[in-house]
Structure 1
Amino acid sequence: MSKEQGSSGPRRAVCTGITIFLLLAGITLLVLWLVYRPHKPRFTVVGAAIYGLNATTPPLMSTTMQFSVLIRNPNRRVSLYYDRFSAFVSYRNQAITPQVLLPPLHQGKHSSVSVAPVIGGTPVPVSLEVSNGLTVDEAYGVVGLKLIFQGRLRWKAGAIKTAHYGLYVKCDIVMGLKKGLVGQVPLLGVTPCDVDV
């Protein structure tokens, strides 16, 4: 009986030591998370240009567009890395441009960067509904599109980098577009994009 009581003392000390260590590690992680709490980036479309739009030869559609997008990093202590970054344009939930790969991007702490990808140029198969809808909207003078970014995102705080997280950004764009118009087109309302990480 005395042997069992003698061995329970060191076991209890080890268990107490492990519990205290885990508690301190948890408190440290909580404090670090509160200090460096990373926020999602913010995307806003600030300009658009159309260099070609041919929706009259279904089932193929060809368009070339350029969008000016302001990306803001709201984090004061964390920088952002965008990897496998790509963009495409959709209309009525169907892609009307091919997916374009963008160069990897590093964004410093609490900064903004502007990107202006040229998207399209290659014909894409579309449904007759999309082709007809775009032709009608163009004749009406108002077209609603979605600019979509996809990629992988990492946060960096000091020497610590997080794992990759999937990034999906959806920007709803309503623009004034008349048939035959080439170049800058007016945006009829700018709203921040939806960012999912």
Structure 2
Amino acid sequence: MSAFELEDGWGHKKRMNLKRAWRGSLCLHLIKFIAALLIFLACVTFIVFLCMFYESVPSPSFAVLDVKFYAFNLSSTSLTSNLQITISSRHQYIESTDNNFHLDQLHIYASYRNQQITLPTMIPPTNLGSYDVNVWSPFVNGTEVPLTPDLAASLAQDKTATMPINVEVTGRVRMKSGYVASRHWLKVNCRAYIMFGNYNGSNVIGSAVKNPFDLEKACRTDVGLLEWKIFECVGTEFVN
């Protein structure tokens, strides 16, 4: 065998190896591209599903029915108050029989101009199914809550007319829709107006009753997703 034939055979083998290496590299890059594309599509699908699920699940609605002050002792530096708040919650979409709510870790308190003026009071946990309505009337109070001079002056001025306060509720809500269960944080903010003075001859310092035709808009309810599970719910109870 001549040197030319040996060189040609070696060159042919080298070219074949290069072609195999190039094809292997091309296939590897193609596989990586397809895998990256599938992962991207899976992430997009998951995000879209999560957003659709979150948006599709309704939240319970709240309404303040009445607020009564039984004590309101204001000084230039502090406030001592005792009030009873009547608040209701109900299933917002009574036509939906698949969605159920479980409310827990509920606390209610009063605030004035974004400053909390009472200690939080715990509300018992409850379940909300279709057509269900719950009403609570807890007492909340604050003893010598410190106030800034501007806030104390504003309170003293509003006391002579109508004082706006905010009734706020925080807690957790667990939702069940079909085979999907989710847990959300809950934040409720309701505006009420207190008119000081004798109320129907009683010793109540003030009372505020929401417009019965505007109860649906009385409170703002915000929820935020904490976690969700699939195929882990039995009846209306949730697996922790």
Work out the CA distance in 2 between the residues paired with 1:162 and 1:111. 20
Alignment pair present for 1:178 and 2:197: yes
Higher relative contact order (CA 8 A, sep 6+): 1
Deviations 1:127-185 (A, max 9, x none): 22222221221122x1111111111111023564213x121111011232238961661
Could you tell me whether the CA contact under 8 Å between 1:82 and 1:104 is conserved in 2? yes
When structure 1 is superposed on structure 2, of 149-158 and 181-190 the one drifting more is 181-190
User: Could you tell me whether the CA contact under 8 Å between 1:49 and 1:185 is conserved in 2?
Assistant: yes
Q: Which residue matches 1:44?
A: 63
Note the residue ranges of structure 1 that are not aligned, 5 or more in a row: 9-14
Correspondence 1:138 to 2:156: no
Whether the 8 Å contact between 1:87 and 1:149 is mirrored in structure 2 is: yes
Change (3 A) 1:97 1:179: farther
Query: Using the alignment, how far apart are the partners of 2:76 and 2:179 within structure 1?
Result: 53
Q: How many positions carry a matched residue from both structures?
A: 184
What secondary structure sits across from 1:109 in the alignment? Answer: coil
The residue correspondences of 1:158-197 to structure 2 (distance < 5 A) are 158=178, 160-163=180-183, 165-178=184-197, 182=204, 185-187=207-209, 189=211, 191-197=217-223
Report the equivalent of 1:126.
147
| Cα 1:107–1:179 shift into 2, 3 Å | same
The letter for the 2-side match of 1:84 is: Q
1:11: which partner in 2? none
Residue matched to 1:65: 83
Cα offset, 1:59, TM superposition: 2.3
SS class of match (2:158): helix
Distance in 2 (alpha carbons) for counterparts of 1:61 and 1:179? 20
Evaluate the alpha carbon distance shift between residue 128 and residue 84 of structure 1 in structure 2; reply closer, same or farther with a 3 A threshold.
same
* Aligned-residue CA RMSD (Å): 3.6
Instruction: Give the Å deviation of 1:84.
Output: 1.7
TM-score (norm 1): 0.73
- Structure 2 counterpart of 1:113, from 126, 131, 134: 134
**Amino acid in the other structure paired with 1:152:** R
| Map 1:10-21 → 2, pairs under 5 A | none
CA gap 1:139/1:179 in 2 versus in 1, 3 angstroms? farther
| Distance in 1 of aligned mates of 2:142 and 2:120 | 11
d(CA) in 2 for partners of 1:43 and 1:171?
8
The percentage of aligned residue pairs carrying the same residue is 22
Alpha-carbon offset, residue 113 of structure 1: 1.2
Task: Kindly indicate whether residue 103 of structure 2 is the aligned counterpart of residue 103 of structure 1.
Answer: no
Structure 2 residue identity aligned to 1:45: V
Please say which structure displays the higher CA radius of gyration. 2
Superposition TM-score, scaled by structure 2 size: 0.62
Partner Cα separation in structure 2 for residue 133 and residue 184 of structure 1: 17
Write the deviation string for residues 103-143 of structure 1: whole angstroms up to 9, x where unpaired: 22221234221111211143322222222221221122x11
